[in-house]
Amino acid sequence: MGYPSLEDEIEILKRKSQENPLDIIRSVCKPQDIIELQKQVDQVYVDDKIYDYIVRIIHKTRDHESIQQGAFPRTSISLLKMVKAIAYMDHRNYVIPDDIKKVIYDVLSHRLILTYDAKVKGVVIQDVIKSILKEVKEPKIKI
**Is the pLDDT assigned to residue 125 strictly greater than 90?**
yes
- 131 CB contacts (<8 Å, ≥6 apart)? 64
Question: What pLDDT shows up at residue 24?
Answer: 80
pTM for this prediction: 0.80
**Is the pLDDT assigned to residue 139 strictly greater than 80?**
yes
Contact 93, 21 (CB under 8 A): no
The H or E element containing residue 67 is strand 67-69
81-95 pLDDT, tens digit each: 999 999 999 999 999
